[in-house]
């Protein structure tokens, strides 16, 4: 049983209403074209939340089980694509770095699928547990990447021309906070056992609402013009030089500078192998 079912279901409904409003304002302000995957993720969360609520109240536990994990799988994939989209948007001033990040994300997605498949196939349990195990592997992998995205933007946002006022930063902030909360709460649940599940569910829905409220604030706010550090300072900053090396516009240095020469050559070979 939940600690307070009324509060829990109220927060569940409130989250869906706010996400519906986010989708609406994204259409009105033409942000749907800028963040199509995040828009799809938001719309899916609204529709899946409504569907799960109906199934919970009218269906049996087996129907809810399959519906919940199907929605979790699709949500994890859309969440992964939303991260990809944020990176793509963040690296927009650096075309070569953007291409490099796309390569990395393709490999990361393939690796998540391989890990999930291996865990499902090697599990000796029944088919329902295998499905759950595979989806959890993908979901937790996506959560780790979302947390890493937030850390990356906090460290390098100024160099990329992204400030805390930009929409991409706000989306990453919400995703990163939600991912961190899920990972921490999942770890606590594993340590504290089944008796902590009601508290776990309540904390989880509260953290999800905080993330959704964060997205709402950013989507309803104006976005300032973007100016990269490369356009402000000389000599060229580290990301600008990476971009030029990957694009073949600047020769690899033989020593010194702000980069380790061997690392530059490694990246150059990686990019060349993808052509």
Structure-derived torsion over alpha carbons of residues 164, 170, 175, 179, reported in degrees to the nearest 10: 40
**Most confident option among 1-10, 49-58, 116-125:** 49-58
**Nearest Cα to Cα of residue 146 among 116, 180, 122, 120:** 180
Q: Quick count: other Cβ atoms within 10 Å of Cβ 214?
A: 18
Cα distance between residue 217 and residue 213, in whole Å: 6
pLDDT digits (tens, 9 = 90+) for 169-220: 889 889 888 888 888 888 888 788 777 888 888 899 999 999 999 999 999 9
Cite the beta strand spans of 88-209 per DSSP E: none
Q: Each residue of 11-47: pLDDT tens digit?
A: 888 999 999 999 999 999 888 988 999 999 999 999 9
- Model confidence over 148-180: pLDDT tens digits? 777 777 777 666 667 778 888 889 889 888 888
At residue 14's C-alpha, the angle toward residues 62 and 172, to 5°, is 90
Is residue 228 pLDDT above 60, yes or no? no
């Amino acid at each position: 049983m939940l600690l307070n079912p009324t509060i829990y279901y109220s927060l569940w409904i409130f989250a869906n209403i706010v996400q519906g409003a986010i989708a609406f304002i994204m259409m009105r302000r033409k942000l749907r074209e800028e963040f199509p995957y995040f828009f799809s993720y938001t719309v899916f969360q609204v529709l899946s939340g409504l569907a799960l609520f109906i199934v919970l109240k009218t269906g049996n536990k087996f129907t809810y089980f399959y519906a919940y994990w199907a929605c979790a799988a699709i949500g994890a994939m859309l969440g992964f694509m939303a991260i990809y989209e944020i990176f793509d948007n963040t690296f927009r001033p650096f075309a070569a770095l953007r291409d490099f990040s796309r390569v990395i994300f393709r490999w990361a997605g393939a690796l998540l699928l391989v890990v999930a498949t291996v865990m499902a196939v090697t599990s000796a349990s029944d088919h329902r547990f295998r499905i759950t195990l595979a989806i959890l592997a993908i979901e937790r992998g996506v959560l780790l990447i979302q947390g890493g995205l937030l850390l990356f933007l906090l460290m390098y946002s100024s160099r990329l021309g992204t400030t805390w006022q930009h929409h991409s930063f706000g989306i990453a902030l919400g995703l990163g906070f939600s991912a961190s909360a899920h990972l921490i709460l999942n770890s606590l649940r594993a340590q504290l056992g089944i008796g902590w599940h009601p508290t776990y569910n309540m904390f989880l829905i509260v953290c999800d609402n905080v993330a959704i409220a964060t997205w709402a604030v950013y989507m309803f706010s104006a976005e300032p013009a973007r100016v990269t550090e490369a356009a402000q300072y000389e000599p060229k900053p580290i990301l600008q030089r990476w971009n030029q090396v990957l694009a073949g516009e600047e020769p690899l240095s033989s020593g010194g500078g702000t980069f380790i020469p061997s690392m530059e050559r490694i990246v150059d070979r990686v990019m060349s192998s993808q052509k």
